[in-house]
Amino acid sequence: MTLAPETSDLISVEIDGVEMNVPKGTLIIRAAELIGTEVPRFCDHPLLSPVAACRMCLVEIEGNPKPQPACAIELTPGMKVRTQRSSEVAEKAQQGVMEFLLANHPLDCPVCDKGGECPLQNQAMSAGRAESRFDIPKRTFDKPVPINSEILLDRERCVSCARCTRFADQIAGDPKLELLERGAKQQVGVANDEPFDSYFSGNTIQICPVGALTSSSYRFRSRPFDLVSTPTTCEHCASGCSLRTDARRGEVTRRLAWHDSDVNEDWNCDKGRFAFTYLSQDRITSPMIRENGELRVASWPEALDVAARGLRSAQGSTAVLTGGRITMEDAYAYAKFARVVLGTDDIDFRARRSSSEEAAFLRSSIAGDCGPTYADLDKAPVVLLVAFEPEDESPIVLLRLRAASLRRGLRVVALSPIASRGLEKIRGEWAAIAPGADANALHALAQGGGDVPNGASIAQALRQPGAVILVGERIADVSGGPSAVAALAAATGARIGWVPRRAGERGALEAGALSGLLPGGRPLDDANARAQVAQVWGVDVADLPISAGREAAAVVSSAAAGGLGALVVGGLEPRDAAQPAAMRRALDNAGFVVSLETRRTEVTDHADVVLPVAVVTEKSGTFIDWEGRRRPFARVFGDALMMSDGRVLAMLAEAMDSSIGRGDVKSLRTELDSFGPWTGARSAVPSDSAAVVQTGGPHLVTWRLLLDEAAMQEGEPNLAGTRRRTVAVVSAATAASLGVAAGQQVTVTGPAGSVSVPVDIGSIVDNAVWLPSNAADCAIASLGVAPGQPVRVSGGAA
Amino acid sequence: MTLGPEIRAEMEQIMQRYPDPRSALLPMLHLVQSVQSEVTTEGMALCADVLSITPAEVAAVATFYTMYKRRPVGQHHIGVCTNTLCGLLGGDAVYAALSERLGVGHDESTPDGKFWLERIECQAACTHAPVMTVDWEFMDQQTPASAIGVIDQLARGEEVRSTRGPVIRDFTATERTLAFPDDGLAGEGLVADELMLAGLRVAQERGMSAPTPGQGN
Amino acid sequence: MTLTPVITAHWDRPDLYTLAGYRAVGGYTALAKALQQEPDAIITTVKETGLRGRGGAGFPTGLKWSFVPQNDGKPHYLVVNADESEPGACKDIPIMMATPHTLVEGVIISSYAIRANHAFIYIRGEVPQAVRRVAAAVREAEQAGLLGDNVLGSGFNLRVTIHSGAGAYICGEETALLDSLEGRRGQPRLKPPFPAVAGLYASPTVVNNVETICNIPFIVNNGVEWFRKFGTEKSPGFKVFAISGHVNRPGIYEAPLGVTMRELLDYAGGMRDGRPVKFWLPGGSSVPMLTAEHLDLPLTYEEMAAAGTMLGTGTPMLFDDTVSVVRAVTRWLEFYKHESCGKCTPCREGTYWITGVLERFEHGHGSEAEIDTLVDLCDQIGGRSFCALGDAAATPYPAALKYFRNEFEAGTNQAAELEFAPAASYLFSEATAR
């Protein structure tokens, strides 16, 4: 299905008189592209299996009495093909098909969203007749009909190319959008009362070659030729999707997946496509300072002066918390600001559930290393998923695993208390473990399998060259987990891919926005590393912190206890924190809080100085995806006045009579690049012992669904309409012991609170309950219990 | 009628006939019609559940085939072939007469739920034109009068026998036969009627036969 | 040429549909013979007979069987195409109703030859009488040890599944049939791969027509030489002709290939009321029509092709001079429009368009320009659609135009019913209508 199949056998063929050598198995339509000939097509898509349904790409093949579909015929040695460029037969055949396609097509291009970027419209110009001969009544359907809250279907425009239905079935693994009825009545549709439930549904809008599938949010909002397009990178998760952001009059109107064969191929998820409304909501555009308990607008000089004085007076008792959303360049600015301007190593990008063991793992095993890539997943003999649910936590990873699984039977094993829908899609194998028992299981695998289901075979597979362990950030919740992952990798030779949820985490790690870690994976406690950094930063090595500072948890508890002089906060949400209440107390009780923010949040509500910063569309920058691959992006709004975090920090540094350089994206990136790779020893791999799994129960299993109550999904009700239903999942045995049946309400209670949701029976180990972490009416943080810990579950509502 | 656990069990039984369970979908949908006289949303959901596929995948199939109906057929399905041969040789008149008599058009059922009328495509009985079907059993060589006679008899609850098959039961019974073909009625009806025997009779009359092995031409 | 009842030879036996009745006329003796041969020997025999598929395309059966890869470790399947739905075709259904055991015996032998251990008989759902007769025959055969494990002690195992379709002409196309049999929409598949290599469940599969399979027991019993006594070099064997239309004795007539329509018409008692043959189709609506001038052509694959038509299913429909060709063609196009699966553009859109225009001609509202437009539209479907259904849909109009252009020209200003009163074509008189 790729351009050229994986083969080195070249065959000699001729297209339109041009002799060429192509790999055996190449489709005519792909080979024609190589010589710059675009055979018109609708149903063809390079990533979907050919159907040859639209018949638009008919070409003449020497010796064949009938014109043949170029999209479905593989070239054979000596084959002579003539396209519309040199064959009247092909040209006439294509014109005939075009006439049929247009026969029943409505003449509504002027009001169609696709107008101006429509393959049908474009090809009608080249292969169509000026006047229609069709003068019987056109086929009509009710229109538009929603297939989910994001997508509207106009069946009159549909050409039955089946791109959308093949995408749903083959790529997304959500065969819930289908061709219904037969013949002239054939139409795309969903089952009664069952919308097209897929995290990837928006791709169907993009690959629709006509205006049959349109976006509810974008409908009637713009014409393609009025849009300014910018290549961007998705800021939501660590998958690293290339996007195209289309804007008009200072507003983003839509985002599309942009082709990148190394990363997201042609796809993205609905969050990346639709969740951008937040960019323009509740924006802060002026600096603010707190006066008599109230924030008031201030000038930049005044605000910077107040911030500088506040920070200076707390010198020696300051910390920086950044959150996982910032760009690599901005993270680098924070990392440098903390060490050079504040003189502290108390910095952490992990404004989420985290652990010291995790930090040690990241410093020792992830930072500064190019981990496995998407291409490595394509080739891996086995992929082990640890504390990671790919569909919710990195959807493009799911698509890659699924593609490799379908194409060549890639073995994917999930070490998890629950078998997810995503695992089903990748036809993965479920190695069931008790909640919190990850570390023990990993150690068992390192030692040959132990009592892990199918353990011996998994352990053996992991020893094959190319094996990959994908570990999610949730491993931080398992004591001994990160250590056990490192140990398993060491024992088997498998490579580790760490897949955090947020787009900025890996970049922050590489930039050194973590205590004990300097840019480029340099250990802070290594004298050589410190010397290299001091040289680049132009400071005296003696002025750099010499011992590792405090991590997020310690910073928060210190601040909450009133022990912190000042806190610089950039882009984090207290509700994402391990303990939201503690984070709120920390913001309350810290001596002085400087917030660099794009919009009003709980943090700005607590801040003494608020400095407005640019959102992703207002600046350029780089995210680093889970592979460690840099994903630079351009500024969408060139005339935006908002400054990046880096620029603001540079100004703040100057106000404090210090410097981190100019702080603009380019100079930060250039400076970061000047470090080069770290060739010295890495910091020590953690070797925490595995936690003892707590008795009692049921134990809580949880992760964040892709679509939930997150701040960056605000303002997009159509996207919210495709969220999954909130349910608690228990096993049949657990349900029986609790005396509840599927669909009934249960209440899950922790020390701090409870949630009431309907229950579902699923593939989950006994004595466990799964809940979404941040769904509507189901904020797990409010329970006051960590994942893996016991909770109380009772039938009925609270 | 709802689809109880016994229907699920029967669906699972049908699945046993095939190496891949999904192959059972067509007979399973016939089974749904044998209970509910149509393919209901409930029926599609049950098929989806039993086969572990999505309701949309079932709907894609259920809406493709003409025999699956999305409204209740009622007691008797009346088909009249109006394809070229039957239609022109009299099927059109048979259909028109039935339509007038029943007061319904193509793919409609009478308000009392007794009859569903449908113009059907070629029924593979062109030799027996014009062909009508009652619950898909053959009623060959109809005239408008004979067809109305059949309808009237059925309406009165009288026994009507297929010209080449069993006594007419009802639509759901036939649908059940399609799900469970060995329905015990194979002995009903002739082996071959006079039209099927036409050539054999001529051969017998004229002393014609196929050569046996070794025999000359 | 004489009539030669072979498959139909014992249809006057009231118990023929039962195992006992079939055995009484020599049933299952071929099976016993076959099981004593190597499977490859049977394939060779069938190849040597030159038997061609009776479903319409006429592909050599033995050749088809020989495409199945052997010792490939995959299961093999035999699928019987009993989805007889071609307008005019009405011979497979009668065969299954009258002599289901001939089919079952053929299935067992054919499965043995291609090394299939599971066979499927896909019967169109609209004919429950055929479904139940075949199902009962399979059950009886199982009970008698002719099917199931260790058939007649040979070590050969075979399971036969009866599968009811649900109303879709396209499922007569073999790859659409396979998709349908897999529980999907019956839309044709891309070829290659061909079913012999990757058919049902992506395994090697032979799809054969009912009548084709019913030839097999006779071939095994009587041999190549016997079979080739019937028909011609390129069209060997006998054929179950089903004759319909305005003939005095429509019905089933089994004769060697090469018999002429005139001979068959004579057996069928001639045209009703001595009226002339206006047009006739040798085998289904998908083959171009012929006229009275073609009645003396031998009904063989090659002669029909030479006359610009095809033998097709070998089920001639004859129409007399009361019939409006415009009405007949319009009705066929309505059929193709209804049965187009929707997959490819030319067939889906073309049948919709052509039908709409033809309906206007039937009502006298066509135009001169549209006579040519319709030719263009048929050209734009034929040879460009995904499968043969599109080709078939593009067939009736050009053929009709060739012989009866005047009727289409009349359709530009006069409804067909004015010249051709519908009732004149009915098989019953107005008087008996009510």
DSSP C23-42: HHTTTTHHHHHHHTS-HHHH
d(CA A671, CA A518): 13
Q: Which residues contact B216 (CB under 8 A, 6 or more apart)?
A: none
Select from B79, B182, B203 the Cβ nearest to the Cβ of C136.
Answer: B182
pLDDT of residue A515: 98
Q: Which chains touch C (3 or more CB pairs under 8 A)?
A: A, B
Q: Which of residues 194-223 of C touch B (CB under 8 A)?
A: 201, 221-223
Give the bridge partners for A758, in sequence order. A745
CA-derived radius of gyration, chain C = 22
pLDDT in tens, A151-178: 999 999 999 999 999 999 999 999 999 9
pLDDT in tens, C74-89: 999 999 999 999 999 9
Nearest CA in chain A to C382: A66
> Inter-chain contact B27–C163, Cβ cutoff 8 Å?
yes
d(CA A251, CA A609): 28
Chain C nearest C-alpha distance from B102 (Å): 15
Give φ, ψ of A119 to 5 degrees: -55, -35
Q: Tokens 């709907």, residue?
A: B59
d(CA A712, CA B57): 34
Select from A176, A182, A191 the Cβ nearest to the Cβ of B44.
Answer: A191
d(CA A451, CA A433): 10
- The closest alpha carbon to A714, from A203, A275, A419, belongs to A275
Chain A nearest C-alpha distance from B80 (Å): 21
The answer to whether the bond into C192 is cis (omega within 30° of 0) is yes
CATH top-level class of B5-62: mainly alpha
pLDDT of residue A693: 75
pLDDT in tens, C339-385: 999 999 999 999 999 999 999 999 999 999 999 999 999 999 999 99
Give φ, ψ of B5 to 5 degrees: -60, -25
Q: How many helices (H) and strands (E) does chain B have?
A: 9, 5
Select from B120, B191, B195 the Cβ nearest to the Cβ of C16.
Answer: B191
The alpha carbon of A373 is separated from its chain's Cα centroid by a whole number of angstroms, namely 15
Query: CATH 1.10.10 spans which residues of chain B?
Result: 5-62
Strands A495-499 and A468-472: parallel
Please list every residue in chain A whose beta carbon sits closer than 8 Å to the beta carbon of residue B69.
none
d(CA A300, CA C395): 81
How many of the other CB atoms lie within 10 Å of CB of A692? Answer: 11
d(CA B138, CA B132): 6
Does residue A192 belong to the interface with chain B, where contact is any CB pair within 8 Å? yes
Element (H, E) at C359: helix C345-362
Please list every residue in chain B whose beta carbon sits closer than 8 Å to the beta carbon of residue A155.
none
- What average pLDDT does range C155-175 have in this prediction? 98
- The closest alpha carbon to B98, from B144, B159, B129, belongs to B144
Nearest CA in chain B to A186: B64
Q: Which long-range contacts (CB under 8 A, 24 or more apart) does B39-48 make?
A: B39/B68, B39/B69, B39/B70, B41/A191, B41/A192, B41/A193, B42/B2, B42/B3, B43/B3, B44/A191, B44/A192, B46/B3, B46/B7, B46/B8, B46/B11, B47/B11, B48/A191
Please list every residue in chain A whose beta carbon sits closer than 8 Å to the beta carbon of residue C349.
100-101, 103-104, 184
Q: What beta strand segments (E) does A280-317 contain? A: 288-291, 294-297
pLDDT of residue A1: 37
Q: What is the mean pLDDT, run by run of 10 residues, along chain B of 217 residues?
A: 94 98 98 98 98 98 98 97 98 98 98 97 98 98 98 98 98 98 97 97 96 63
Torsional sign, CA C6, C8, C11, C16: positive
CB-count burial class (<10 Å; 0-12, 13-18, 19+) for B156: exposed
Does residue A186 belong to the interface with chain C, where contact is any CB pair within 8 Å? yes
Asked whether B121 and C172 are in contact (CB, 8 A), the reply is no
d(CA A508, CA C373): 67
Compute CA distances A416 → A766, C119, C348, whole Å: 12, 43, 49
pLDDT of residue C434: 47
Asked whether C103 and C146 are in contact (CB, 8 A), the reply is no
pLDDT in tens, C88-133: 999 999 999 999 999 999 999 999 999 999 999 999 999 999 999 9
> Domains (ranges, CATH) in chain C?
19-225 (3.40.50.11540), 238-320 (3.10.20.600), 325-425 (1.20.1440.230)
Please list every residue in chain B whose beta carbon sits closer than 8 Å to the beta carbon of residue C246.
89
CB-count burial class (<10 Å; 0-12, 13-18, 19+) for A777: exposed
pLDDT at C432 over 60: no
Structure tokens at B216: 């000359």
| Amino acid in the structure at residue A408 | R
Q: How many CA atoms lie within 13 A of A563 on its CB side?
A: 7
Query: CATH 3.40.30.10 spans which residues of chain B?
Result: 76-179
> Inter-chain contact C161–B17, Cβ cutoff 8 Å?
yes
Instruction: Indicate the DSSP class of residue A337.
Output: I
pLDDT of residue A692: 81
Q: Residue length, chain B?
A: 217
Strands A566-570 and A593-597: parallel
d(CA A496, CA A677): 19
How many of the other CB atoms lie within 10 Å of CB of B160? Answer: 18
pTM: 0.96
Strands A754-761 and A728-730: parallel
d(CA A602, CA A583): 10
d(CA A522, CA A476): 22
Does residue C344 belong to the interface with chain B, where contact is any CB pair within 8 Å? no
Below-70 pLDDT ranges, chain A:
1-8, 798
Chain A nearest C-alpha distance from C342 (Å): 4
d(CA A141, CA A138): 10
Q: Which residues contact A381 (CB under 8 A, 6 or more apart)?
A: A411, A461, A464, A465, A466, A467
Q: Which residues contact A143 (CB under 8 A, 6 or more apart)?
A: A153, A154, A155, A156
CB-count burial class (<10 Å; 0-12, 13-18, 19+) for B194: exposed
Asked whether A497 and A412 are in contact (CB, 8 A), the reply is no
d(CA C337, CA C46): 37
pLDDT of residue A128: 83
Q: Tokens 């309406």, residue?
A: B155
Q: Which residues contact A171 (CB under 8 A, 6 or more apart)?
A: A47, A48, A200, A203, A267, A399, A402, A403
Structure tokens at A467: 């094996």
Select from B41, B57, B64 the Cβ nearest to the Cβ of A192.
Answer: B41
Please list every residue in chain C whose beta carbon sits closer than 8 Å to the beta carbon of residue A185.
342
pLDDT in tens, C376-385: 999 999 999 9
- As its CATH architecture, domain B76-179 has 3-Layer(aba) Sandwich (3.40)
> Inter-chain contact A182–C383, Cβ cutoff 8 Å?
no
Interface test with B, best of A194, A196, A198 (most B CBs within 10 A): A194
Give the bridge partners for A60, in sequence order. A82
Give the bridge partners for B81, in sequence order. B120
Asked whether A217 and A236 are in contact (CB, 8 A), the reply is no
> Domains (ranges, CATH) in chain A?
10-103 (3.10.20.740), 135-279 (3.30.70.20), 288-352+506-673 (3.40.50.740), 362-500 (3.40.228.10), 699-795 (2.40.40.20)
pLDDT of residue A3: 46
Q: What SS3 class is residue C10?
A: coil
